[in-house]
Amino acid sequence: MILPILVVEDDDALREALSDTLVLGGYQVLTAEDGSMALRMLETHRVGLVLSDVQMQPMDGETLLHEVKVRFPWLPVILMTAYGVIDKAVAALHAGACHYLPKPFEPEHLLQAVAKYLLPDCVNENLIAEDPAMRQLLDVARRVALSDVSVMITGESGVGKEVLARFIHNNSARADKPFVAINCAAIPEQLLESTLFGHEKGAFTGAAVQHIGKFEQAQGGVLLLDEITEMPLALQAKLLRVLQEREVERVGSVKTIPIDIRVLATSNRDVSEEVAEGRFREDLYYRLNVFPLHLPALRERPDDILLLARAMLARHAALQKRRAPVLSAQAAECFLSHTWDGNIRELDNVIQRALILAPGDEIGPEHLYLPVVAARIAAAGGLPQENSEPETVMDIKEVEKQHILETLRAAGGVRKLAAARLNMSERTLRHKLQQYRELSGDLHI
């Protein structure tokens, strides 16, 4: 989840010292002796930051910066040079460097700069897991992936259930076989059976050609039944038979076709409750729910929010071929105080809006266009100018804080009861109370 840092320095001793400092700080490091070598490495390696000296031969750091901004405009570059060249530092910042480190500098200054500007690895951004509960879930998912049992993944809309299903597939023995997903809620009921099982030519009106169903398409691999609780009861019975017999019969055919697949299913509902209410077959539930996994809501994994936001910023900035902006401290607080009812999908939307609204290389709270902020901007007559002071978001945080503390007092200090009334987990409530204690120094919160 952490991309390596490319250190570009022609002095062997200094290059080694920089690498050692970064490795001790927990980072992966690649090294290049000059700008030309650095560009060749960038063509073949994914990196999260370039740390380059300015005075190098034959290609110096300023030329390297220009080339990086042309070829990889989203990639942050930190330049290093001696004191006394302020004009060059200013010029480099205008040319696209994200930071300038005057030599000599202390190791902690280097690590602080790297921590601020290093791009996260956004290949599996929705599976970023620094939060303990999420890390434990992924550890279990890796072990489940090694077996061939059916898995039922539950969680609210937008938490990344399909992403977790793909994670299980990619870590399984079937990883080089097909991964086929079907959204049971998105296909009309009259077409769902032929979509799943296929049909023969002439099986019904409009069936002009033979169709291979999803079960056959997934042969040898994995079939994901997304939002399985939306499947009609009549089709649930046919699905159960296919899973039991491990063979499928196309609509309009009398021939059965053996299948070798692993089935994963997802739902944003409480499946046991659906069974109790008679909307989902109990026997199918137990067939699919061999190993249940529940993905927590984004508000229940606060340690991941900013990491996810920064990963999404890097990805969308790269798609737009622009430098990835950084989150201001106020914007970060705004992210942490928001409830994220739409989970990761909502977070991704907010990031895309912020990249549209942010005029420079820093995202402030006024660029997030969250509901409360959006209403305030509209009332004020539009977005602030680029050089104007960003509007404070402390009132949003303060309102939330007072609401939480008042609810806790009304619950007699019982956190479980307060969490239920606030519609949040006890863990999230504990996290927020700890934040309030650290900020105020009040040990009685």
Fold of 396-440: Arc Repressor Mutant, subunit A (1.10.10)
What pLDDT, on a 0 to 100 scale, did the predictor assign at position 398?
Answer: 67
Judge: domain 5-117, CATH 3.40.640.10. Answer: no
Q: Return the structure tokens found at 69.
A: 């901004």
Question: pLDDT band for position 97 (50/70/90)?
Answer: confident
Query: Cβ distance 50 to 78 under 8 Å?
Result: yes
Which of 68-77, 173-182, 261-270, 398-407 shows the lowest mean pLDDT across its residues? Answer: 398-407
DSSP E strands, 70-146: 77-82, 99-103
What pLDDT, on a 0 to 100 scale, did the predictor assign at position 399?
Answer: 60
**Mean pLDDT, the chain, integer:** 84
Report CA 373 to chain centroid distance, whole Å. 23
pLDDT tens digits, 154-170: 999 999 999 999 999 98
CATH of 126-294, one of 3.40.50.2000, 3.40.50.300, 3.90.79.10, 3.40.50.10440: 3.40.50.300
Fold of 299-392: Helicase, Ruva Protein; domain 3 (1.10.8)
**What does the pLDDT average to over 302-321?**
84
- Is residue 10's pLDDT more than 80? yes
What pLDDT, on a 0 to 100 scale, did the predictor assign at position 125?
Answer: 54
Helix, strand or coil for residue 97?
coil
**The two domains 126-294 and 396-440 share their CATH topology (first three levels equal):** no
- What value, to the nearest 5°, has the Cα angle with vertex 430 and ends 426 and 431? 120
**pTM beyond cutoff 0.85:** no
DSSP-assigned beta bridge partners for residue 120: 2
pLDDT tens digits, 372-406: 544 454 555 554 454 444 444 334 466 667 778 88
All structural domains of the chain with their residue ranges: 5-117, 126-294, 299-392, 396-440
